[in-house]
Amino acid sequence: MKKLSYFLLFISYLLASCAKEDEPDTSNYFPRIFDGGLVFQAPSRIIQEGESAVYTGLLFSPKPVEKTKISWKVNGQEVSTDTAFTFAPKEGGEFEIKLEASYNGQTATRISKVLVSPSRYTPKPAARTVMSYLSENATAAGINWGDVTHIAFNGARVLPGGSVDFSKSNQNQNLDELVARGHINGVPVLLGVSGRLSGVDGWSLYNSNDFGSSISDPALRSSLVETLASYVQAHRLDGIDIMMTDLSNDDPAIAGGNAAAVTPFLTALKAALPQGALVTVTVTTNYMHWEYANLSAADWINVHAFENGVTVGPGAKPGQASPFNFMTAGATIWTNKGIPANKLVLGIPAFGLRYNELDANGNNASWGSYEYMPFSAILAADPGALERDSSTTIAKGVYYNGKPLVSQKATYIKNQGFRGAYVWAGNYDAAEANSLIKIISGILK
């Protein structure tokens, strides 16, 4: 019996020892947050006022969870100590949601940014329009909201048959971010609607008729208006710009019919959109201006008064494609048509014409020997280019609108009483002090 007692005592000692060894030493344990629901996976969320951002499915260690102090903070202020949190903002703005899990003096952290688009906002007062017209590949990054009064985003591509390709407009909630940041800063955001564009310059693909054919057919036009109006309301946009750069066609009858169809399309959009929504039209300065019907229902007209077309093509003499006199002549075309200056927004390019090959006479070599270059890329290649309107250090030369020419144009716009200026494309512009939009804004204010 003695041996049995000693044996049982030894077994009890071993079991007790094992139990002590199995118990983890948490004295130096670093707390952890397990995001099984991937609620912190995206660095930011974009929601509309009235919606919520929900953070659930989280696990914490060490266990039990009571050992870990949990803290949820919104913009630095603690709002909850629960294991889950629902952020229900009462106003628009940008918010930081921080989750902290603390144990024994150490803290694990997860952070989420939430951008809330306000349900109501007041457009900031502005004496004149300064609009950044963004191409379909633009994002909200880099926009100086203090320098612009309006944003237009070329995010709706009309396809043959009247359907619309919105695929570029809201990738990764891009459009929603533009609207949210715009409204937080008092800047209306318009949806630019166009046919197929040829590239950097914003003109239509040669002989394209996607948009024109869609608005010329009454049934297709009605369907198109309904599609666009629904999209504008769903994304809380402030209106639409009809970017009619593909009206022309080799057949004059088709071109004329397309131009005439802009007026009923404009009228139908005004009726379908919410009261107060903006509808503008971007028009050309080429021969097609004779074909346009009455555009007086537009809130204003954007004049594509840049890129004269005489400095490209085989044998063309290199030079400024968007000179001052071309803009003023384009403006005069539309004032002569009876459009008052205070309804005209004149276009200024944020890109340059680059020559890659010249012929023996020093002229452009061929249709394939030139290309267009964003203004930001010009400054990257030639840091001193801001103070000039051309550069000879890039390829065979680049001609663009730098500070001297942009200042001259903006001063003319102000002195002649025009509504303002727009820049195509805003995402081609340089940043901060080198920004053409900043220069224009400073003069027009």
Tokens 């903002």, residue located:
89
Question: What pairing do the DSSP bridges indicate for beta strands 106-117 and 93-103?
Answer: antiparallel
User: For residue 54, with 0-12 CB atoms within 10 Å meaning exposed, 13-18 middle and 19 or more buried, which class applies?
Assistant: middle
Nearest CA among 116, 204, 220, 120 for reference residue 154? 204
User: In what side-by-side order are the strands of the sheet with 44-48?
Assistant: 44-48, 106-117, 93-103, 69-74, 77-80
pTM for the structure as a whole: 0.89
CB-based burial, 402-422: b 16+ in 10 Å, e otherwise: beebbbbbbebbbeeebbbbb
**Rounded to an integer, what distance in angstroms lies between the CA atom of residue 37 and that of residue 201?**
44
The phi, psi pair for 423, rounded to 5°, reads -115, 125
Q: What is the DSSP letter of 134?
A: E
For residues 374, 379, 382, 387, the Cα torsion angle rounded to the nearest 10 degrees is: 110
For residue 215, give the nearest of 266, 169, 291 by alpha carbon.
266
Give the separation between CA 398 and CA 364, rounded to whole angstroms: 12
Instruction: Round the CA-based radius of gyration of the chain to a whole number and report it.
Output: 30
Q: What pLDDT does 11 receive?
A: 46
DSSP letter, residue 214: H
Structure tokens at 116: 């809330």
pLDDT at residue 197 in the model: 85
Q: Distance between CA atoms of 331 and 5, rounded to whole angstroms?
A: 109
Q: How far apart are CA 265 and CA 280, in angstroms?
A: 11
Q: Could you count the other beta carbons within 10 Å of the beta carbon of residue 137?
A: 11
Find the helix packing angle between 218-234 and 252-272, rounded to 10°. Answer: 40
Q: Which residues pair with 33 in a beta bridge?
A: 60
Q: Report the DSSP pairing between strands 390-391 and 344-349.
A: unpaired
Which pLDDT does position 208 carry in this prediction?
79
> What do you get for the CA distance between the two ends of the chain, in Å?
104
Q: Give 199: exposed, middle or buried? Use CB within 10 Å, 0-12, 13-18, 19+.
A: exposed
Q: Is 371 helix (H, G, I), strand (E, B) or coil?
A: strand
Which one, of 342, 328, 348, lies nearest residue 402 by Cα? 348
Q: Which residues, listed in sequence order, are joined to residue 48 by a DSSP beta bridge? A: 117
CA nearest neighbour of 326 among 296, 285, 360: 285
Which pairing describes strands 420-424 and 344-349: parallel, antiparallel, or unpaired?
parallel
Tens place of pLDDT per residue across the chain (445 aa): 444 454 444 445 444 544 444 445 555 688 999 998 899 988 889 999 999 999 999 999 887 777 899 999 999 999 999 999 999 999 999 999 999 999 989 999 999 999 999 999 999 999 999 999 999 999 999 899 999 999 999 999 999 889 999 998 888 889 999 999 999 999 999 999 998 887 788 877 777 788 988 999 999 999 999 999 999 999 999 999 998 765 666 677 777 788 889 999 999 999 999 999 999 999 988 766 667 778 989 999 999 999 999 999 999 999 999 999 999 999 999 999 999 999 999 999 999 999 999 999 999 999 999 999 999 999 999 999 999 999 999 999 999 999 999 999 999 999 999 999 999 999 999 999 999 999 999 999 8
User: Cβ atoms within 10 A of the Cβ of 383, count?
Assistant: 9
Report how far residue 139's alpha carbon sits from residue 432's, in angstroms, rounded to the nearest whole number: 16
List of residues 6+ apart from 16 with CB closer than 8 A:
none
The bridge status of strand 150-158 relative to strand 189-194 is: parallel
- Find, among 361, 345, 365, 241, the residue nearest to 301 by Cα: 345
Walk me through the domains of the chain, giving residue ranges and CATH numbers.
Answer: 32-117 (2.60.40.10), 129-444 (3.20.20.80)
